Each structure stands twice: as structure tokens, then as C-alpha cells.
Amino acid sequence: MDNNYIEINKDAYNNLAKEYDERNYAVQDNFYNDIMFKDLKFKKGAKILEIGPGRGARLKNFCDYDLDVTAIELSEEMSKLCSKRAPKAKIINKNVFECDFDSPFDFIYMEAVIHNFPIEEAKKLLSLIHKWLKEDGILICTTTVDKIDFEGYEEKKDYKSNIKRFRHHYTEDAFEELFKKQNFKVLDKKYKEEIDDTRNKLWQILYVGK
């Protein structure tokens, strides 16, 4: 797989940024704030890295928890939304593979991002993340639950614009296997249903550690 998928994804998310910004995500936001983040017992000042924050809703939540927040976002347009929503976060507008860090993170968060990488690239990304995570750190990673494992370029069906980007679909087993093969241990797993006028998805949320 060449690196074309990065440029294609970057163009896609630049084009989708306005729609992401304007959509009402209240149901999802409540789930993350009321269920997920409460369980994580964030300590003030803990270091968190979000990869692919998109419009920056979760980044804002992390800043509200008084965490030391860094984000890496590929798309320029999404990065602008992040700066607007979460001005206290350090936002790095780059491809994640071009980044590196000297000191490790307590938490690394990737919501609906891992599936934008071909599986072989996702493995490389997870080995980078392994290096960036503290020994007792937690990586939280989400994707949808699919019945068949497959990948390729496809249009986003739940958005108005017919824009193609790279998408890997994971079964539950394949998703867990991906982390285990990169030397992570599965600590916990949650599910989130997303059913509204435009979406009908089941999300799997993995909490993994070293």
C-alpha cells in the first residue's frame, strides 16, 4: 500500500469539516462524558494525546477536565475547528506518522480514526503508540462493529457529500486481535449504539494497556 491513502483522507476530511462542525452530536457527547470519561478517573494535569480529533468536541472535554492536552490532526480545516473549540489544546496539524514525542502519555485517545488506515499501516501506528504510552498508560480506540473484515476506498454514506476515503471494517475478533498482535492487553470493552435519522451503527470501544 502506497501513501496515497493519506492524501485522499486529508482531502476528504478537509471537505467534510463544515458538515462535521454543524451536525448535532448531542447523544454521542452525553455518552462520552457521562459514561466513558467518568470511568477513567482523569487526574488533573494527566497527559493525553488525541489522534484525529476532527471537529474537536472531545478535545474540548479533555481541556474541561484540566488535562494536559495534545492533538495530532491531518486535515487543516479540522485543525482550525479544533483550535476554535479547544483553544487550550496543543494542536499539531500533521500526519501522525510524521510526529514523535520525548515524554510518554497517560492516555492516548482515537475515536473513529483507526479504520482510516489500511490494516498494515494500523499495525505500524499501534507500534508507534506503544512507544508513546506510559507503562501504566491506557489507549482508548473506537471503531464500528462489522460482520465481515474488509477494507478499501468508500464513500461516507452518512454525510451529504459523496466523498471517498479509506475505510477498514473490523469484526469484533479482528479488532481485538490487532491490538494483541502489537503487544497490547485488552483491559475493558464497551459498546455504544448510534441510532438517529442518518445513522445506524454499533460502536466498539476498546481500552488497552501494555
Ligand X SMILES: C[S@@+](CC[C@H](N)C(=O)[O-])C[C@H]1O[C@@H](n2cnc3c(N)ncnc32)[C@H](O)[C@@H]1O
Residues that bind ligand X (CB under 6 A): 6, 9, 13, 51-54, 72-75, 78, 95-96, 111-113, 116
- Nearest residue (CB) to ligand X, 54 versus 137: 54
DSSP 28-71: HHHHIIIIIHHHHTPPTT-EEEEE--TT-HHHHHHHHTT-EEEE
- Nearest residue (CB) to ligand X, 112 versus 174: 112
Report yes or no: 201 and 136 within 8 Å, Cβ to Cβ. Answer: no
**Minimum distance from residue 138 beta carbon to ligand X (Å):** 17
Distances (CA, A) of 138 to 133, 171, 209: 7, 22, 5
| Cell output for 140 | 482508548
**Minimum distance from residue 106 beta carbon to ligand X (Å):** 19
**Minimum distance from residue 155 beta carbon to ligand X (Å):** 13
The rounded distance, in Å, linking the Cα atoms of 130 and 11 is: 28
- Nearest residue (CB) to ligand X, 27 versus 45: 27
- Nearest residue (CB) to ligand X, 53 versus 137: 53
- Nearest residue (CB) to ligand X, 6 versus 63: 6
**Minimum distance from residue 96 beta carbon to ligand X (Å):** 4
User: What is the chain's Cα-based Rg?
Assistant: 16
Residue 136 sits at φ, ψ, to 5 deg, of: -105, 20
- Nearest residue (CB) to ligand X, 46 versus 71: 71
**Minimum distance from residue 199 beta carbon to ligand X (Å):** 12
Report yes or no: 13 and 75 within 8 Å, Cβ to Cβ. Answer: yes
**Minimum distance from residue 119 beta carbon to ligand X (Å):** 14
Q: Which long-range contacts (CB under 8 A, 24 or more apart) does 86-93 make?
A: 86/53, 86/56, 86/59, 86/60, 86/62, 88/63, 89/50, 89/56, 89/59, 89/62, 89/63, 91/53, 91/59
